[in-house]
Amino acid sequence: MDLTWTSEQLALHDRLRTEGVAAADWQALADLHVMALPVPREHGGLGHSALSCALALEGLGHGCRDLGLLIAAGAHLWAVALPLMTFGTPEQRRAYLPGLASGRLVGAHAITEADAGSDALALRTVARREAGGYVLTGRKRFVTNAPDADLFLVYATLDSRLGFTGVTAFLVERGQPGVRVETEQRKMGLNSCRWGQVVLDECVVPDRMRLGAEKQGSAVFSTVMAWERTLLLAPLLGAMERQLEECVERARARRQFGRRIGSFQSVANRIVDMRLRLETSRALLRSAAWELDHGPTGGGRRSSSPLPELVKLQVSEAAVATFEDAMQIFGGHGYTEDAGIEERLRDALGTRISSGTSDMQRDVVAAKLGVR
């Protein structure tokens, strides 16, 4: 495994690290070609590897303070553009990838339902076969980007008795008859990462809009999870690094009892733990990204690898702990909105739930290790 940065990777990381992006500015990300990072050049993208994307997004997380915006972009990339790259027909890729890569089209991944959260493939949304296509009926919840999305990746079952083996994936455009988007409840954080419900009421989807083969939905979903759990939280590494820098500066400048607060072991130890979490998270994420690029079939990863779930678990938990420690170091000021720490903490708490809860990641890893 070679994780040495190339000059191109370093330049990409540094460019995104130094770019200021205002809150909720999707167009600014598009102008920086963030949505184009992994998309093949023939479809308007930059064709970067998973590892290059990880390094780029880490830099972006340092330069952009709106984690909600970066999570929204990640959901668009790893849960819509990536499966379209992997499973899409040539016609589907030509029709949608250029728009997704430019940011002109917004993608949303519609799988979660009221009774299908952690058990994501226990779906009630049904795809009824009809001549020339399918009729979709059901309701999806907590769909990231739903209020703004132009293209939904929707999962439905051909027969609920088949369980996960009957799940099929479909591309559904926002303007199609039978598609309705409803506003979801407000969240405690990640406010720029808007979500909503997608209601499918006898929505007719032609055969050409099926993504992959019939009953291949579980394979599509597994691919999404491998990439999303590995790369969705890469920007958090940059945010954690920036928070560490701010805490070091605070520890050097702030004085109490006639001493710099960094001379107190309780403060110094928190900062050391921040660095430890950052380096551990960074190494694990980059290793998982390398594995995505160097799977045994020339791309993707070994299905038994626990690295994506370990990355998701480690980075989300590390971010929460880091921002909690930062609040303690900054004291009363850290609890104010002006410090920005409370917003980062609220955002980080959401990452422990999205793309599978921390407890769910542990269950998946345990199963992959053969202990369950």
Structure tokens at 187: 């969240």
Q: Cα 84–13–85 angle (5° rounding)?
A: 10
Verify whether residue 228 is a known catalytic residue. yes
Instruction: Provide CB contacts within 8 A for 139, sequence distance 6+.
Output: 113, 114, 125, 197, 198, 199, 200
Backbone angles phi, psi at 199, to 5 degrees: -105, 125
Alpha carbon distances (Å) from 56 to 13, 50, 110, 113: 4, 10, 26, 33
Catalytic residue among 228, 241, 291, 309: 228
E strands, 219-297, in order: 255-256, 259-260
Partner residues linked to 144 by β-bridges: 195
Cα–Cα dist 121/112, whole Å: 9
Structure tokens at 174: 């926002």
Q: Which residues are catalytic?
A: 228
